[in-house]
Amino acid sequence: MEEFHAIVSGRVQMVMFRDFTQRHARRFGVVGTVHNLANGMVEIVAQGSQASLELFLRDLRKGPLLAKVKEVNVEWREPQKIFDSFDIVY
């Protein structure tokens, strides 16, 4: 199992980005969390196979229709904890 931590910047809040992220994570069998940050960015922790995570990242870089993703900063790391689903953290 691989893991990445990502910070997504741009117009990524109030545009259904978290729902989009959760839907695409489930599509690729990725588990983890997504939540909005106070600075207007979105934070994602994702776990899965390397191939699934790469496909997931491809979709995150596009985002939903109303979003304008400026940058996705990704840090690959050892899993910090094991997730069993992909959840939106409020």
Catalogue the active-site residues.
Answer: 18, 36
Question: How far is 36 from 60, CA to CA, in rounded Å?
Answer: 14
Question: How far is 14 from 12, CA to CA, in rounded Å?
Answer: 7
Do 31 and 8 touch, CB atoms closer than 8 A? no
Helix (H) / strand (E) element for 18: namely helix 17-28
Question: How far is 71 from 9, CA to CA, in rounded Å?
Answer: 5
